[in-house]
Structure 1
């Protein structure tokens, strides 16, 4: 690359994704932009430790005929694209050449463009499309006989071998179980309350339950409800919802993302207009409404309205604390907690709110906190797929080791925790693989509920 190599010192700027433009799907133009970006990345290499996309790219360059990007075969570009799971860490935390820098480098959204082209060409396998259809395989949750049978079968080696052959799910990858009772079936709203003095954050909450909490771990949702009730914050469950669309986004199926948006946004916008804070427990879902949908649909006023109303739960709780409205009557010690900050939490530009909350608890009762800020490697469906599971375990290895860190007395953590429930289970499995002691796994909201003694 010619020109200055000084990096951008300003905050990253995101540009809208022009995915409705037919030129977006011009493969030759996309590959030209990939070549330009790969050339800059090759000359920098700061992101080599983030995921497998960058080592794959740099190996292709180093093993090519010229030692530069022009020596890499164009068909091998797909190897880089397939390793990207759109975590956004390169853009938001590492790359010095993102906008407003003149080089205007957007690695993740160029990967998205390539994935969208691949999807539109019909080159995404049916099994990958099925794995990304969370509403489809979640529909069996809450049907007792089916749940018991499915969960029992999924624990057996023959079924896992069959799943690997049919669905490409690695036979040793952790898979979530179906819940015996869906969150949305077992939760209801709470009453209203008068506006309190100093109440600047929205004093009422609408909960977008997410597929994972609804179908797999409803206990996380109930922990949130208990924390809200204790703080006298009235809440309702969003009247109806579909998957946020993030799994389809990661495949490049942008038409499906639009269908999910058309189902969710009009409903959520009504709550936003009525002054609700909308809370989503899963960081990927929160990010979808906060960033990706607004960039895909920049002219949709309802999308922008939902963006402004969407909160991470701990972002909301710490805002209430700043307003002097959060109860700090913590009663139960949590002991030694190893806490992992997930990628889709880091890139929301909200700061380390869960860590702040856990430290706030620590001023009242015993909490010894070890915070780990690095990708676990799970990345949605990436970490369970046969071609990538071992790579995901390799990416997460430093996290597994750091989460099991012992103090001077040789004691490790009592609890491990992550805002991303999937990452938490992946970390627990990785620690087991590394023959490290595996403490109890609890979501941060479960820890807060415990600290309150609820």
Structure 2
């Protein structure tokens, strides 16, 4: 397995040093350091390829400081894949320095669903000992100090039953027109919506039932691989991708689509699986076939059903004001931003932030653990934007954003609730 798809030197040579990437770069806006600007990353990677830069701990610290928000890719006149080459070098870093024990433990659990289920169930039983819950905001707070976690942080918590264990594998809906072939979709739920934000999956099931769409919930699905991919644990990524591909192939032709209420998961399956498998042509072709059927949930619902009409006819019109945050892996990576707004505005008052496209600062496992100070700094401006809207709810189709934005709102003392648009749409369809 050779994961060096891109030639660092070539990309470094292709960079015209125009600087358009700097004003939009999440990490550069925090520290104003040219070294950790996109063109700084590219220049250093070129030097690394030429053996002019040692991959020492200082270089490791620099390359782990990127949020992978893709803002730089969005504005680059040469479309340079800065995010992808940083993901690539993180594999070299992992090989040289290893991966810290708690990340290894987490990635091990991502490979083993049954063990994760057991630990999540145990966590639900005992979590009240360590956490004080805010059930309205789906956040919790530490009762006492815990290593690696700042006591100020707002944390999520596991639900009693995971989404995958809550429902049968097949849900047959009542068809209005017996002569019309029923649509059938599979749900890829994502780890956080499976264990913590299960109301997102609940809402998706409610919506599909209202639309008379048959539901398939693949019980053997594993993590899409994004957390390990962004950290550089490519062995885990390889395992998860290939397991999912083989499993998806066993039922792919039986569904019209695979819908995902998570921006990062759908982007990983749609784009990063093929990128990762660039040197394994057979596997890459198999991933490409699957990606043609994978869609973000709001995108597929808006384009392929009469959900908007159903919402417009609903008697539920809420006074609640919603502001929408564009997750990096939704708008910039997959071009999904109009669809959730079109659906939500049927029943909710909508207001826009000054910059809804600004990265919230989640940044992955590393940024949320040993580099939390950077995630915190990136999140506070987003919380301030949300406060300025006077909205009661902020929404995004991404659980990573939900974790980060909820924490930023808590730290900033902004009383706004975060909900996935799927939850809000489901509420509008209730009788």
Fold shared by both chains (TM-score > 0.5): yes
Supply the distance in 1 between the matched residues of 2:203 and 2:357 (Cα, whole angstroms): 24
1:202-233: per-residue Cα shift (whole Å, max 9, x none)? 92111112211221121110111001111111
Shift of 1:377: 0.5
Whole-angstrom CA distance in 2 between matches of 1:61 and 1:311:
33
Q: C-alpha distance in 2, partners of 1:33/1:158?
A: 51
2:201 alignment partner in structure 1: 221
After superposition, the C-alpha distances for 1:377-432 in whole angstroms (9 at most, x for unaligned) are: 0123244213x2221122122211111124xxxxx212222211232242233223
- Taking the TM superposition and a 5 Å limit, the aligned residue runs for 1:99-248 are 105-133=80-108, 135=110, 138-140=116-118, 143=121, 146-154=123-131, 160-162=145-147, 164=148, 169-188=149-168, 189-191=170-172, 203-248=183-228
CA contact (8 A) 1:378 1:426 kept: yes
- The residue aligned with 2:344 is 358
TM-score (norm 2): 0.81
CA 227–186 in structure 1, closer or farther in 2 if over 3 Å, else same:
same
Determine the structure 1 residue equivalent to 2:430: 453
1:343 equivalent to 2:323? Answer no
For the aligned residues, what is the CA RMSD?
3.4
CA 243–96 in structure 1, closer or farther in 2 if over 3 Å, else same = same
131-140 or 184-193, larger mean C-alpha shift: 131-140
Query: How many angstroms does 1:278 deviate by?
Result: 0.4
Is the contact made by 2:231 and 2:366 (CA closer than 8 Å) also made in structure 1?
A: no
Partner of 1:258: 238
Q: TM-score, normalised by structure 1?
A: 0.77
1:281-327 alpha-carbon deviations (Å, 9 max, x no partner): 22111111100002222533321111001010001111124799866
**How far apart are the structure 2 equivalents of 1:186 and 1:349?**
32
Asked if 1:318 is matched to 2:299, the reply is no
1:377 aligns with 2:390: no
Change (3 A) 1:209 1:375: same
- What's 2:40 paired with? none
Counterpart Cα distance in 1 of 2:30 and 2:410: 26
Cα drift, residue 171 of structure 1: 4.0
Structure 1 residues 432 and 128, CA gap change in structure 2 (3 angstroms): same
Alignment of 1:269-308 (within 5 A): 269-298=249-278, 299=281, 300=283, 301-308=285-292
8 Å Cα contact 2:193-2:201 kept in structure 1:
yes
Match of 2:138? none
Per the alignment, residue 443 of structure 1 pairs with 420
Task: Specify which of 424, 429, 434 is matched with residue 402 of structure 2.
Answer: 424
Structure 2 CA distance, aligned partners of 1:33 and 1:391?
30
Matches within 5 A, 1:54-69: 58-60=33-35
Where in structure 1 are there 5+ consecutive unaligned residues?
Answer: 1-19, 63-67, 99-104, 407-411
